[in-house]
Amino acid sequence: MRWTSIVAIYSLFWVMSAFLVLPFGMRTADEAKIAKIPGQAESAPADWRPGRIARRATVLSIVLFGLFYANYTFGWLTPQNLDYASPPASIEK
């Protein structure tokens, strides 16, 4: 696999991981028991920490990309394993 492909695929995993970890650990102003600013949405986070989200997304994307690359290298799961539309090759009686 070329290094440019590795960077592109890892970037996709990172963005996907960022969206996955985004809601974890977020609390609204009501949950945090702090005063709301007039006009603030009810669902707005009380304490926004993008660095924490980036760290969590990085760890998760490293794990997911590691599994992806290991599967690419060792061929554990191939497209033929996921083809459920075609009938089995042969069934011996």
21-75 pLDDT per residue, tens? 999 988 888 888 888 888 888 888 888 889 999 999 999 999 999 999 999 999 9
Q: What's the rounded mean pLDDT across residues 6-31?
A: 94
Residue 28: phi and psi, rounded to 5, are -80, 175
pTM score of the predicted model: 0.77
Environment class of 39 (CB within 10 Å of its CB; exposed 0-12, middle 13-18, buried 19+): exposed
Residue 18 exposed, middle or buried by CB count within 10 Å (0-12, 13-18, 19+): middle
Q: Which residues lie across from 62 on neighbouring strands?
A: none
Tell me the three state secondary structure of residue 28.
Answer: strand
- In whole angstroms, what is the distance from residue 6 CA to residue 77 CA? 19
Residue 88's pLDDT band (boundaries 50, 70, 90)? low
